[in-house]
Amino acid sequence: MHTPTILDKIIAHKRQEVAARRDLVPAKKLEQSIYMDSQPLSLRRYLLREDLSGIIAEFKRKSPSKGFINPHAPVERTTLGYMQAGASALSVLTDTEFFGGKNDDLTTARRYNFCPILRKDFTVDEYQILEAKSIGADAILLIAAVLTGEEVLRLGRFAKSLGLEVLLEIHNAEELDKTLHPDAVTLVGVNNRNLHDFSVSLDTSGELAQRIPDEFVKVTESGLQTAADIEALRAVGYRGFLMGETFMRHSRPEKACAALVQQLRATEAITLL
């Protein structure tokens, strides 16, 4: 018997939310956005740049497991500060019910930053992908734990038709095997958080690294804290490091990001000696 996880609850709520939003703002209205004709930036390309850190710095006010983390951080200062600190890209939570985010957070970040922005939400419908493009996102997240292989293929192809890249999030090898479609997915993210007990282990990324084909940029998510964590996972093939709580629990998240990037650069400089 399947015990519902918090992710199951989020998805059930998300389906209702999407239906209500579609009634409120029809797809034709979304298509009138100024961002529909713009060329998205490539998250893949920015993560592979040698002059950047590989960090995807996340703006997140709260989470279901931790409650409020930082409800007062301003979007403009935080996201601009992340990029000035040397992050490669941004991730912005737009889910309201469980994460305290909103679409305006991403649009504000877009206005202040020239870098790839991942819309972090729970995508179950093409409408949300159209919405992501309309608010200025460059990439979307598809979560293998709540989608079938056919759904990942359909949603991923639709995202690519709009010029958006797709980060497929997996938790284990089974999810990877059932949902990885080369023509629908650009990047694969390994979430180190166990959905059932919220425990976090970076070993998850270590164990799955070799199972992800090299054609996909590998991203590791959750539990990253130090420069040493990043270096260890970079050594096994990861090029993207999604970090949110580590920064957001500080009163000035962008300064925490800057300190970590400095540590990384110092480590790299020592390695080159």
Catalytic residues: 58, 60, 120, 169, 191, 221-222
168 forms beta bridges with 142, 188
Beta strands 139-143 and 117-120, pairing class: parallel
Q: Return d(Cα 142, Cα 155) in angstroms, integer.
A: 8
Q: Is residue 238 within 8 Å of residue 251, measured between CB atoms?
A: no
Find tokens 């877009």 and name the residue: 110
Q: Is residue 69 within 8 Å of residue 62, measured between CB atoms?
A: yes
> How many CA atoms, within 13 angstroms, populate the side-chain half-sphere of residue 19?
6
Decide: helix, strand or coil at residue 238.
Answer: strand
Amino acid at the residue 226: T
Q: Return d(Cα 142, Cα 265) in angstroms, integer.
A: 31
Instruction: From residue 264, give the alpha-carbon distance in Å to each of 75, 81, 193, 225.
Output: 25, 17, 24, 12
